[in-house]
Copies of this chain bind each other. A is one copy, B any other.
Amino acid sequence: MQYRRMGCTGLKLSAFSFGAWVTFGRQVGRSQARELLALAHDRGVNFFDNAETYNAGDAEELMGDVLADLRFPRDSYCVSSKVYFGATTDPKPTQRGLSRKHVIEACHQALARLKVDYLDLYFCHRPDPETPIDETVAAMDLLVRQGKVLYWGTSEWPAEAIEQAHRIARAQHMAEPVVEQPQYNLLHRERVEQEYASLYEKYGMGTTIWSPLASGLLTGKYRDGVPDDARLNQPGYEWLRDELLDKGRGRVARAQRIEPIAQELGVSMAQLALAWCLANPHVSTVLLGASKPEQLTHNLDALDLLPGLDEETRRRIEAAVA
């Protein structure tokens, strides 16, 4: 495994991380989850990503059960949660958003579900236009000072809101956000490469990338349409299906254009797309979801491809999907 500093922090994350999104508590049950986490940890993965909203808290509950069972040394891995959407399918007004009340209560609940004393990373899952950033920064700072959170960050926040959070934190001598969790893949590059460009240098922020395979488009598996058992066909993911397929018909076709390059290099489309993500030096870690061990192993192997992924090849790939 390769390890990278999370931005300019001293925290070293494995280049590939393991995320509970979609799969945990739905496609993946306890014995599978155990197998997947054990495999990941064994391969050197040290970051397990989660969120209150993933299957309405069930993903955290399951990960917590399995972590308690596997008994990895607590200092050998990082675990995260994210706050914003609530941990129920129908949250009440006080059970979602980034108010002081919800940020603090959601943290306590995540700690209980994950069965840990502190979260290594705690993300604001979306910006909340109905809470002043000051209130959220102060709540995060409180959790850091109480030892319940080590590092905090944002997910899919506009650069300007992240800048504001830094300004507030510095003025108040509070803990600053140090990491963003943005979507990033060959079909979705603008935010990570353009919008956040100034954040890396100015604040040394790291990124933990979600959807590196564009929810499967870059694996080629939707080449001939969406199979019945695909993640995109699960209830609750209609928005994602729309965004990826219906609203962006051309995407499947664009994604397929990397296939010849992958074949040329003797790897799968997925491996090529993952290695391409990692080639961006501002990427701290790339999150992998998986429901089967073979799939996880296959994706982790993409790391071997990275040294050979020279600038010219990357340009060819980028040109192909453009």
Contact = CB atoms under 8 A, between A and B. Distances in A.
Interface of A: 3, 5, 8-12, 14, 46, 73-78, 92-95, 97-102, 104-106, 109, 120, 128, 130-132, 135-136, 138, 142, 144-147, 150-151, 172-173, 175, 204
A146 B147 CA distance: 9
Nearest to A129: B10
A74 B105 CA distance: 9
A76 B104 contact: no
Contact of A9 (B76, B92, B99, B151): B99
Contacts of A98: 10
Contacts of A95: 73, 75-76
A287 to B, nearest CB: 17
Given A76-B95, A173-B173, A175-B138, A9 B147 contact: no
Number of copies: 4
A135 B100 contact: no
Contacts of A92: 46, 75-76
A3 B97 CA distance: 14
Contacts of A5: 130
Given A3-B93, A76-B95, A78-B94, A151 B11 contact: no
A10 B138 contact: no
Contacts of A150: 100-101, 104
A75 B9 contact: no
Residue from A12, A98, A102, A144 having most chain B Cβ neighbours under 10 A: A12
A147 B139 CA distance: 10
B9 A100 contact: yes
A60 to B, nearest CB: 15
A46 B94 CA distance: 8
A12 B75 contact: no
A132 B3 CA distance: 17
A97 B6 CA distance: 14
Contacts of A128: 10
A38 to B, nearest CB: 16
A174 to B, nearest CB: 8
Contact of A93 (B9, B46, B100, B145): B46
| Residue in A14, A98, A101, A138 with the greatest tally of chain B CB atoms within 10 Å | A101
Contact of A94 (B12, B100, B102): B12
29 contacts: A9-B132, A9-B135, A10-B97, A10-B99, A10-B102, A10-B130, A10-B132, A10-B135, A10-B136, A11-B99, A11-B100, A12-B130, A14-B93, A73-B95, A75-B94, A75-B95, A75-B101, A75-B105, A76-B95, A78-B94, A78-B101, A100-B150, A101-B151, A104-B147, A142-B144, A142-B145, A142-B147, A146-B147, A173-B173
